[in-house]
């Protein structure tokens, strides 16, 4: 089968052996797969990402599904793509799914190697030498983890299940409740997913900031109540205007119904400290943007204002299913996010194009 | 009256004008006052501490009681000391207190300039050009904030009300519940207060680490269930031995009853990142140690394990009152913490002596 292969930091389209479904596995034809910002980063910095993840997990007392990344071999084939929709082609033995051949399915990008699973029986799909992701004509999924795509839902929209689940998870973990205000720093796909989830949660003050006019437009479409060009205005000043001047509104405790959560969705060094510096007393910061580099903070900003900084990643299976349901029921309109569709031959070009926020938000690959 | 005056980074004993009680104020004779690590730092780095606090509060939408620190003049007299016990000498007009002349009182180190107060009517006692702290023969306190010291309680023990309240607050804010485990990094007065509060909360696994044998001994006395010399053994390895090997105990979510909170009580650069690096997945870190310098973190440690980092400071008036009650009722035994008592003339020497953890934990000044 044809696939976009990452090997030694280069992406090439090659013919590789098609996978065969073993026990509990299902072979699908990849119908669509979104390109994630993490994939762009992984091409050049994958080894560092894996090393950091391994360094942080050494000796920690719980196994995580990403622990397999420490054994990644970057000189061997890696086929990325974890925002996929597939059509069932063949069920392996004991597939543990009600999905039938020909049906469209989505799944969290995880392979369960044993049923029932133990802590050690989860493998990553996409960031793996073992299980290819969606930048390939076919892929193996885990039978017990399949979710059928409702008939009425566009295949392209279903491919947004994964990135929108990231936003739902961040908002759920933040503890924000209706009545609280939100400031979203950065309106790339992650920030836009957070904005959609905030709207879904009933948050009425959503102030979003980005340098890019195109992304600010998308932020408005997804539900931001105010958009700010960070180059000319500070989103925290906008917040003060929206909710009251200093001293007027003293309870900013997130989860209180009159609090604030800042969502850091930029993921570059300095953003966490900037968020801490301008944070009101006792407010919360949820870090969703994945900054891969070392970063500097002034702990005194956190201490003197009793801030809480929560880091979030991924989603639960329930949130993933909720994301699919919200898209299918029209609660989240993902249509504006899809700014391009390419075939396998144009994936490398799409990776470059995504660097321009005026051109693109989400590009789908249709293998 | 005699006082230890800080001016231009130098401590000298001088005769200064004794204060007179205005409306809502009470004049007390200082009976005892603990020396806090923050005071040591403030002598040399006070301007930077005040600047950082002002930088972090600029534009934040709530006033805090420390906002007055931005107007501190370090070339004018500052009399520190915020862990005080006083004997009431004279009540000002409308003192709003039931305390009588001759009675012993403690108070949070805050002057309320209006009754009822607004956001702008709180001033710091001790880190102030206006209201001297306890390193002086007399001081003004706020009538409505006075708490009477129970008759049976030793004056010296009552002076520990403030530092022990810091520990109670940190433990309350951490969300830890019985069944969770705690790791306490650093067994200076802050760490020891945290240990005492954890014990009071019913936490059964309290692993404490410090370089100093003397401080490890004090940690055991205060309630640590295991003490670790950080130079020879990692407290997180001890945790794994105490609660189970990797994979055996997967739920480490703080507040779940089978989770973990690390309390960072060292306050030097690198400790937050070290705590993040060894943290189990989904666990919590409560930063109590005040690191005044810029610090480096790897955000990926936080993201890949979904950590939450909460910064805490001070205590609520209720926690301060609870601290006094717990000391008075013998729930917290502070006697082992008091390692020295000096007069005003020896405060500067005591500041130096406190740098040696083998010699001292808490030194009280008796003016």
Instruction: Kindly report the nearest CA distance between residue A75 and chain B, in angstroms.
Output: 23
Determine phi and psi for A121, rounding to 5 degrees. -105, 35
Chain B CA closest to residue A274 = B56
- A-chain CB neighbours of B242 within 8 Å are none
For A175-189, what is each residue's pLDDT tens digit? 999 999 999 999 999
Question: Does the pLDDT of residue B118 top 70, yes or no?
Answer: yes
Average pLDDT over residues A264-287: 94
Interface test with B, best of A50, A237, A267, A304 (most B CBs within 10 A): A304
Do A53 and B306 count as a contact with CB atoms less than 8 A apart? no
Question: Does the pLDDT of residue B248 top 50, yes or no?
Answer: no
Chain A CA closest to residue B278 = A60
Interface test with A, best of B49, B50, B62 (most A CBs within 10 A): B62
- Please tell me the least confidently modeled range out of A7-11, A48-52, B150-154: A48-52
Nearest to A302 among B234, B278, B287 (CB): B287
Using 50, 70 and 90 to split pLDDT, how confident is the model at A243? Answer: confident
Do B119 and A250 count as a contact with CB atoms less than 8 A apart? yes
For residue B138, give Cα distances in angstroms to B30, B31, B85, B103, B132: 5, 9, 11, 14, 8
Neighbours of A331 (CB within 10 A): 13
Longest dimension (CA), chain A: 65
Average pLDDT over residues B207-230: 95
Percent of chain A scoring above 70 in pLDDT: 94
Question: Does the pLDDT of residue A299 top 50, yes or no?
Answer: yes
Question: Does the pLDDT of residue B70 top 60, yes or no?
Answer: no
pLDDT at residue B247 in the model? 45
pLDDT at residue B234 in the model? 84
pLDDT at residue A121 in the model? 87
**Strands, DSSP E only, in B92-224?**
104-106, 110-112, 122-124, 138-142, 147-148, 181-185, 205-209
In three state form, how does the secondary structure of A232-301 look?
CCCHHHHHHHHHCCCCCCCCCCCCCCCCEEEEECCCCCCHHHHHHHHCCCCCEEEECCCCCCCEEECHHH
Question: Does the pLDDT of residue A147 top 50, yes or no?
Answer: yes
Between β-strands B260-264 and B284-287, what pairing exists: parallel, antiparallel or unpaired?
parallel
pLDDT at residue A244 in the model? 67
DSSP B240-294: HHHH--TTT-----TTSSS-EEEEE-S-STTHHHHHHHHPPTT-EEEE-S---S-
Using 50, 70 and 90 to split pLDDT, how confident is the model at A55? Answer: confident
Burial of A163 (0-12, 13-18, 19+ CB in 10 A): buried
Report DSSP state, residue B182.
Answer: E
Instruction: Name the average pLDDT for chain B.
Output: 91
Determine phi and psi for B317, rounding to 5 degrees. -55, -35
pLDDT at residue A235 in the model? 83
Residues 6+ apart with CB under 8 A from B278: A59, A60, B234, B236
- B-chain CB neighbours of A280 within 8 Å are 60-62
CA dihedral A112, A115, A117, A120 (to 10 degrees): -60
Average pLDDT over residues A136-159: 96
- Please tell me the least confidently modeled range out of A126-135, A287-296, B63-72: B63-72
Tokens of B59: 């534009």
Instruction: Name the average pLDDT for chain A.
Output: 91
Interface test with B, best of A174, A249, A287, A303 (most B CBs within 10 A): A303
Report DSSP state, residue A333.
Answer: -
Do A277 and B56 count as a contact with CB atoms less than 8 A apart? yes
Average pLDDT over residues B141-145: 97
Question: Does the pLDDT of residue A265 top 90, yes or no?
Answer: yes
Question: Does the pLDDT of residue B136 top 90, yes or no?
Answer: yes
pLDDT at residue B121 in the model? 87
Instruction: Kindly report the nearest CA distance between residue B48 and chain A, in angstroms.
Output: 11
Q: Which helix (H) or strand (E) holds A321?
A: helix A317-328
Report DSSP state, residue B78.
Answer: B
Interface test with A, best of B56, B166, B234, B244 (most A CBs within 10 A): B56
Residues 6+ apart with CB under 8 A from A79: A3, A4, A5, A6, A16, A126, A132, A133, A135, A136
Question: Is residue B297 within 8 Å of residue A294, measured between CB atoms?
Answer: yes
Question: Does the pLDDT of residue B141 top 90, yes or no?
Answer: yes
pLDDT at residue B67 in the model? 43
- B-chain CB neighbours of A254 within 8 Å are none
- Please tell me the least confidently modeled range out of A82-86, A238-242, B50-54, B196-200: A238-242
Do A295 and B290 count as a contact with CB atoms less than 8 A apart? no
Question: Does the pLDDT of residue B307 top 70, yes or no?
Answer: yes
For B36, the 3-state DSSP assignment is coil
Average pLDDT over residues A297-310: 94
Chain B CA closest to residue A294 = B298
Q: Is the whole-model pTM more than 0.90?
A: yes
Question: Does the pLDDT of residue B245 top 90, yes or no?
Answer: no
Average pLDDT over residues B198-227: 96
For B186, the 3-state DSSP assignment is coil
Question: Does the pLDDT of residue A68 top 80, yes or no?
Answer: no
Question: Is residue A156 within 8 Å of residue A107, measured between CB atoms?
Answer: no
Do B281 and A310 count as a contact with CB atoms less than 8 A apart? no
Tokens of A110: 């995880």
Residues 6+ apart with CB under 8 A from B159: B32, B33, B34, B83, B84, B85, B106, B364
Instruction: Kindly report the nearest CA distance between residue A321 and chain B, in angstroms.
Output: 20
Q: Which helix (H) or strand (E) holds B125?
A: none
Using 50, 70 and 90 to split pLDDT, how confident is the model at A86? Answer: very high
Using 50, 70 and 90 to split pLDDT, how confident is the model at B294? Answer: very high
pLDDT at residue B254 in the model? 75
Percent of chain B scoring above 90 in pLDDT: 75
Question: Does the pLDDT of residue A319 top 60, yes or no?
Answer: yes
Instruction: Kindly report the nearest CA distance between residue A269 and chain B, in angstroms.
Output: 9
Instruction: Kindly report the nearest CA distance between residue B187 and chain A, in angstroms.
Output: 19
How far is C-alpha A112 from the geometric centre of its chain's CA atoms? 20
Using 50, 70 and 90 to split pLDDT, how confident is the model at B60? Answer: very low
Mean pLDDT: which of A66-80, A243-257, B12-26 is highest? B12-26
pLDDT at residue A280 in the model? 87
Chain B CA closest to residue A259 = B61
pLDDT at residue B58 in the model? 58
How far is C-alpha B154 from the geometric centre of its chain's CA atoms? 20
Q: Which of B63, B65, B99, B279 is nearest to B183 (CA)?
A: B279
Instruction: Kindly report the nearest CA distance between residue B181 and chain A, in angstroms.
Output: 12
Tokens 């061997």 appear where?
A76
pLDDT at residue A183 in the model? 95
Question: Does the pLDDT of residue B28 top 70, yes or no?
Answer: yes
Q: Which helix (H) or strand (E) holds A113?
A: none
């Amino acid at each position: 089968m044809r696939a976009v292969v990452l090997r030694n930091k280069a992406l090439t389209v090659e013919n590789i052996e098609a996978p065969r479904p073993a026990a509990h596995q299902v072979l699908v034809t990849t119908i669509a797969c979104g390109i994630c910002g993490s994939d762009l980063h992984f091409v050049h910095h994958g080894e560092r990402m894996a090393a950091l993840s391994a360094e942080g997990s050494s000796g920690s007392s719980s196994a995580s599904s990403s622990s397999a990344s420490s054994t990644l071999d970057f000189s061997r084939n890696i086929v990325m793509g974890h925002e996929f929709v597939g059509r069932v082609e063949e069920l392996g033995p004991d597939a543990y799914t009600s999905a039938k051949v020909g049906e469209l399915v989505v799944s969290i990008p995880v392979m369960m190697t044993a049923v029932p699973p133990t802590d050690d029986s989860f493998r990553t799909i996409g960031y793996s030498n073992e299980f290819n992701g969606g930048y390939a004509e076919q892929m193996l999924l885990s039978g017990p983890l399949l979710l059928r795509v409702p008939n009425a839902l566009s295949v392209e929209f279903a491919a947004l299940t994964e990135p929108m689940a990231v936003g739902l998870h961040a908002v759920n973990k933040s503890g924000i409740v209706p009545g609280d205000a939100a400031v979203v720093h950065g309106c790339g796909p992650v920030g836009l997913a957070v904005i959609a989830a905030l709207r879904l949660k009933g948050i009425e003050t959503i102030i979003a900031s980005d340098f890019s006019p195109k992304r600010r437009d998308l932020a408005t479409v997804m539900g931001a109540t105010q958009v700010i060009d960070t180059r000319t205005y500070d989103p925290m000043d906008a917040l003060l205007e929206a909710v009251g001047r200093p001293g007027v509104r003293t309870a900013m405790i997130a989860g209180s119904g009159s609090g604030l959560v800042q969502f850091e969705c930029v993921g570059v060094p300095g953003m966490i400290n900037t968020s801490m510096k301008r944070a009101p007393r006792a407010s919360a910061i949820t870090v969703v943007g994945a900054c891969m580099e070392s970063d500097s903070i002034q702990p005194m900003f956190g201490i003197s204002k009793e801030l809480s900084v929560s880091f979030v990643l991924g989603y639960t299976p329930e949130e993933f299913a909720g994301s699919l349901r919200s898209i299918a029921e029209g609660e989240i309109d993902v249509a504006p996010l899809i700014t391009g569709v390419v075939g396998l031959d144009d994936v490398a070009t799409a990776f470059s194009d995504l660097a321009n926020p005026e051109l693109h938000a989400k590009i789908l690959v249709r293998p």
